[in-house]
Structure 1
Amino acid sequence: MKVQTKDGEKPIEVIKIGDEVLAKDKKTGEQAYKEVEWL
């Protein structure tokens, strides 16, 4: 599985705390880059 980061797609296995990934707000549906806080 790959995730979208500001630097492009990356395998989820290389994502670490502090990386910014594209996330979707469940309530509003809005997408934005958010910092990974925990794994």
Structure 2
Amino acid sequence: MMKNKDMLRKIYYENKAMNRNMQRFLSWMILNIRRKFHL
């Protein structure tokens, strides 16, 4: 059984990694959309 603090830390770091991936994905999407419409 994990301690609550360890569990919270794990969730926190996983969320941080997920947010970073989402931001990278969104910026890639925006780049492609702008390229498509030549803005």
Structure 1 or 2: more strand by fraction? 1
TM-score (norm: length of structure 1): 0.15
- Larger relative contact order (CA 8 Å, sep ≥ 6): 1
User: Which is greater in Rg?
Assistant: 2
Structure in which a larger fraction of residues adopt helix: 2
